[in-house]
């Protein structure tokens, strides 16, 4: 094999580090760190280099802790960036792409951080077994679940958790979701308003809760008319805007899937017209046991 590039061409090795799986915890701990400790320091014990085992083992374990801290800091920066993007979200496609990419990076960094946390804690235990001394990192601390928490740290964590819950509560909506889709050339405002008024009453009777409107946020047609109804009736609405840049022609169908896959169960589905996306929503909803109401135009479209 002449070069790495020959191997890539021959075997199709096109994965990036982001695409490759993280090893299991037993491999990270025992297969990597513990075996490395034994290979490095066991041969030195009982030799003239015996006094060097402790400082070398401490330095080796510290490497893992420093990498864990670096990844933790990188993940925090991505999390802060994600919060900023959410606050600045203007509903545009570019912002949606940035939010998705930032969340993906944060998730990958979390996986790497958690893996390094396993390795760093294993390294600390190996140091303690090898030297008989407690491992104290040169900076920061051991962040495993068994690490000692001072009263101040515990209270600070409690405050942060409460703060996060209060921040999240600002974005919570009370009610049962109704997913809506329809034709972009739908113009019968009264038909949509009357239908949604009737569904809102039915939701109160059936679910003893108010209605939350899910739609794709089209600027015209059924979505736009329904959005105007929701604003007039003071009904909360969640927009699942299609990500055209990421998914191309299938973006509308991806948005439908997102409506159906939210943690909060749908109370029902209503579609206005016969567009492919609308029919897809109704079909998928019924496959999941969710009632779908189909509303056709009062007058057929000209052929």
* pLDDT single digits (tens) 265-275: 999 999 999 99
pLDDT tens digits, one per residue of 65-92:
888 888 888 888 888 887 887 777 666 6
pLDDT tens digits, one per residue of 179-209:
999 999 999 999 999 999 999 999 999 888 8
pLDDT value at 148 more than 50: no
In the chain, domain spans: 4-169, 176-295
CATH number of 176-295: 3.40.50
**144, 117 in Cβ contact below 8 A?**
yes
**140, 71 in Cβ contact below 8 A?**
no
Helices and strands per DSSP (H, E), number in the chain: 11, 5
pLDDT at 93: 66
Q: What percent of the chain has pLDDT over 90?
A: 31
pLDDT value at 213 more than 50: yes
186 SS3 class: coil
**54, 131 in Cβ contact below 8 A?**
yes
- Mean pLDDT to the nearest integer, 26-33: 86
Q: Which token pair is 95? A: 């912002």
**256, 231 in Cβ contact below 8 A?**
no
Task: Give CA–CA dist 54/133, Å, rounded.
Answer: 9
- How big is the CA angle at 45 (ends 44 and 49), to the nearest 5 degrees? 50
pLDDT at 159: 60
pLDDT at 96: 73
Exposure string of 158-171, with b = 16+ CB inside 10 Å and e = fewer, is eeeeeeeeeeeeee
Query: What residues pair up with 269 in beta bridges, in sequence order?
Result: 179, 292
pLDDT bucket at 133, cuts 50 / 70 / 90 = confident
pLDDT at 86: 77
Task: Give CA–CA dist 226/232, Å, rounded.
Answer: 10
pLDDT at 11: 41
Q: What percent of the chain has pLDDT over 70?
A: 79
Mean residue pLDDT across the chain: 81
pLDDT at 141: 53
pLDDT value at 149 more than 80: no
pLDDT value at 284 more than 90: yes
């Amino acid at each position: 094999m002449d070069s790495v590039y020959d191997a890539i061409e021959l075997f199709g090795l096109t994965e990036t580090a982001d695409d490759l799986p993280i090893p299991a915890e037993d491999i990270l701990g025992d297969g990597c760190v513990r075996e490395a400790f034994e290979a490095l320091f066991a041969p030195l014990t009982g030799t003239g280099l015996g006094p060097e085992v402790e400082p070398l083992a401490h330095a080796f374990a510290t490497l893992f802790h420093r990498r864990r801290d670096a990844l933790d800091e990188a993940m925090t920066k991505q999390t802060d960036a994600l919060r900023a993007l959410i606050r600045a979200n203007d509903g545009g496609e570019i912002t949606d792409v940035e939010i998705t990419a930032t969340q993906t990076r944060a998730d990958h960094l979390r996986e790497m951080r958690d893996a390094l946390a396993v390795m760093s804690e294993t390294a600390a235990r190996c140091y303690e077994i090898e030297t008989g001394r407690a491992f104290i990192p040169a900076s920061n601390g051991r962040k495993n679940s068994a690490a000692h928490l001072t009263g101040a740290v515990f209270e600070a964590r409690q405050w942060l958790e409460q703060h996060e819950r209060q921040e999240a509560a600002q974005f919570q909506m009370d009610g049962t979701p109704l997913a809506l889709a329809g034709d972009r050339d739908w113009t019968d405002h009264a038909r949509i308003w009357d239908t949604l008024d009737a569904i809102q009453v039915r939701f109160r009777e059936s679910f003893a809760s108010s209605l939350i409107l899910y739609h794709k946020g089209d600027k015209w047609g059924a979505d736009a008319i329904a959005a105007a109804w929701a604003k007039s009736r003071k009904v909360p609405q969640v927009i699942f805007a299609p990500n055209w840049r990421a998914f191309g022609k299938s973006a509308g169908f991806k948005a439908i899937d997102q409506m159906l896959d939210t943690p909060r169960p749908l109370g029902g589905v209503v579609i206005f017209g016969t567009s492919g996306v609308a029919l897809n929503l109704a079909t998928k909803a019924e496959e999941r046991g969710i009632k779908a109401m189909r509303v056709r135009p009062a007058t057929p479209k000209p052929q």
